[in-house]
Structure 1
Amino acid sequence: MRRVLRCLGLLLVLALVFGVGWAWPILFRGPLLVGQDAVSDTATAAVAPTVEDVGGRVIVARPPSGTAERDVLVVFYPGGLVRPQAYEWLARELAVAGYTTVIPEFAFDLAVTGIDRATALIAHYGAGKKVVLAGHSLGGAMAAQYLANELAAGRQPAAGLILEAAYPPDGSSLASANLKALVLRAENDGVADAAKVTGGLALLPSDATEVVVPGSVHAFFGRYGPQSGDGVPTVSRAEAEAFITAQVEEFLAGL
């Protein structure tokens, strides 16, 4: 009997250790930092992002001194379990072009825990600006869900939507919304199902555009390292980022 109890106790301890080890990286996220692996060139080095508190912490990248600010605000929802600073590279690129971008931090780095985060950010930073909701992977899906919820409530807080390796969740149609939409799909994405990303266009306005990022993979949308299950890139990260930046800036300029 004692041997059985010892075995059960050992199994319990092992299960506890395994559970803690599995949950630890989800429950305990890294610090929110700016400036780490986010500078692409001299121009983006001149951008000085800040961490501010608007209903929670948010990275804010404004145009550098001497750059004319455009009348567009980008609210970017990070991918699932990805720290906000992974998308600072894009925010810096957009700042150089005159756009302000805000990247909110979510509990456990899961946008599903705060879908309506954009409401406070738009109220705080969006005065006099057209607003574009954007997001990568799960973040993109939740950005689309947010806009669908707002539309159902008779509100339309945004003029545009950018989905990176993402598609609207079932039941969150934006087909009747008066907004422009851009869908970016990585050619060698091994995480986001290509058919679902393309199929998601049916839930977006009829003039929504899908653009394939040649040779890119899922993890090239953010600087957070390789991702399990992803495909193999046939272009450099720098080439993919340059293509993504060009597509996003062209979209924003057309609003």
Structure 2
Amino acid sequence: MSTEPAPTPPAPVRSRRRPRLSPRVRAWVIAGVSLLGGYLISTARQAVVRPPLVVGQDAVPPSGTDTARVTLENVGGPVIDIRPAQGEADTLLVFYPGGLVRPQAYEWLGRALAAQGVQTVIPAFPLDLAVTGIGRAEGLIAQYGQGKRVVIAGHSLGGAMAAQYAANNPDALAGLILMAAYPAENVSLKDRTLPVLSLLAERDGVAAPDDVRGGLDRLPEGTTLTVIPGAVHSFFGRYGPQKGDGLPTVTHAQAEGEILNAVQDFLTGLK
């Protein structure tokens, strides 16, 4: 006869009730999640869906005289082609826009330079980020640069990518123009003989003036540094105020005049 004790019955499982949110708190949580989701969707949409590429809306050069023909073309992607209205250009300027800036923001410069016999081409990059197509200049030079002196330029992130292209292709270029920009720390043109113009906005709050000056250590000897008095980062283009930028002490038009003079003097010096 078995003498084993009877098994102990399992302890009853106690249900744990989750604390319930009051209707008011629940409404606030739902509203917060909805707002956050809407913000994230809106931000992502702005990054992916860029404004349309339109020319001629805000591009009168500082002199008020327009001597250019402007067309939208496709050379490995959309590109704004700005050339002299009369005669042939002897210089091709390939311009890389700043990060998240539409190409038409720099149309004013191309129109102003057209009077000096300069053809300017401004490519559009995926997401408006030149880092997505650093070598884009190669196709543009092949398309437009035959028989012309070629200079590459760029603003901000576009300038850094233009410097990288110049470091890899110095023999294809006659000059490099950096606007509120400098080579990345792993990019050096120090041993190149390429003429370089570096433009620094005195009141820049995005590309710190000390960083722009520090970038001279990675540029060729004899690089020209020109300070645009009272200007800020966004004054190189026409795209409105920029978060984190400084406060200017000159008008946008005054800064554009100084920028144009510096670029024209640099290009003239290459002849």
What's the TM-score, normalizing by structure 1? Answer: 0.91
Q: Which ranges in structure 1 are unaligned for 5 or more consecutive residues?
A: none
* Secondary structure class of the residue paired with 1:141: helix
1:201 is aligned to 2:216: yes
Displacement, 1:129? 1.2
- Whether the 8 Å CA contact 1:149–1:172 is kept in 2: the answer is no
Q: Which whole-Å CA distance do the structure 2 matches of 1:69 and 1:10 have between them?
A: 61
Matched residue, 2:139? 120
Deviation at 1:147, TM superposition (A): 1.7
Residue 39 of structure 1: aligned partner: 60
User: Structure 1 CA distance, aligned partners of 2:164 and 2:114?
Assistant: 26
Match of 1:61 among 75, 78, 82: 82
Give the number of aligned pairs: 247
Alignment match of 1:28 (pick from 49, 54, 69): 49
Offset at residue 42 of structure 1 (A) = 4.4
Report the Cα offset of residue 178 of structure 1.
2.3
Q: State the 1:232 CA deviation.
A: 1.0
Kindly provide the amino acid, as one letter, of the partner of residue 207 in structure 2: A
* C-alpha distance in structure 1 between counterparts of 2:19 and 2:92, whole Å: 66
The question of whether the paired residues in 1 share the 8 Å contact of 2:83 and 2:89 is answered with: no
Quote how far apart the aligned CAs of 1:98 are: 1.2
Structure 1 residues 245 and 16, CA gap change in structure 2 (3 angstroms): same
Aligned partners of 1:186 and 1:93: how far apart in 2?
Answer: 20
Matches within 5 A, 1:159-238: 159-238=174-253
Question: Does the residue aligned with 1:142 lie in a helix, a strand or coil?
Answer: helix
CA offsets per residue over residues 77-120 of structure 1, 9 Å max, x none? Answer: 00000000000000000011110000000011110111110010
What residue number does 2:37 align with? Answer: 16
* Cα displacement string for residues 179-228 of structure 1 (whole angstroms, at most 9, x for unaligned residues): 10000000111111111101111111101010000111111100001111
The alpha-carbon deviation at position 23 of structure 1 amounts to: 1.6
Q: Distance in 2 between matches of 1:13 and 1:157?
A: 52
Inter-CA distance 76–10: structure 2 relative to 1 (3 Å threshold): same
* Letter matched to residue 55 of structure 2: V
Deviation at residue 175 of structure 1 after TM alignment: 1.0
The reply to whether residue 134 of structure 1 matches residue 149 of structure 2 is no
Distance 1:2 1:103, change over 3 A: farther
- Given that residues 102 and 124 in structure 2 are in contact (C-alpha distance below 8 angstroms), is that contact kept between their aligned partners in structure 1? yes
The structure-2 alpha-carbon separation of the partners of 1:126 and 1:20, relative to structure 1 and needing over 3 Å to count, comes to same
The CA deviation at 1:70 is 4.1
Shift of 1:150: 3.1
Question: 1:17 deviation in Å?
Answer: 2.1
CA offsets per residue over residues 123-143 of structure 1, 9 Å max, x none? 100011111110000000010
Whole-Å separation in 1 of the counterparts to 2:138 and 2:168: 12
In structure 2, the gaps of 5 or more residues are: 1-17
Highest CA radius of gyration, 1 or 2? Answer: 2
* Residue identity (%): 56
- What is the rounded CA distance, in whole Å, between the counterparts of 2:36 and 2:202 in structure 1? 40
1:2/1:54 CA distance change after superposition, 3 Å? farther
SS in 2 for 1:170: coil
Shift of 1:47: 1.8
Q: CA deviation at 1:168?
A: 0.3
Q: CA RMSD in A?
A: 1.9
Quick one: structure 1 residues 109 and 3, their matched pair in 2 at CA, closer, same or farther if it must change by over 3 Å?
farther
Shift of 1:11: 6.5
Per-residue displacement from partner, 1:57-91 (whole Å, max 9, x unpaired)? Answer: 100100112xx444211000000000000000000
TM superposition shift of 1:146:
1.4
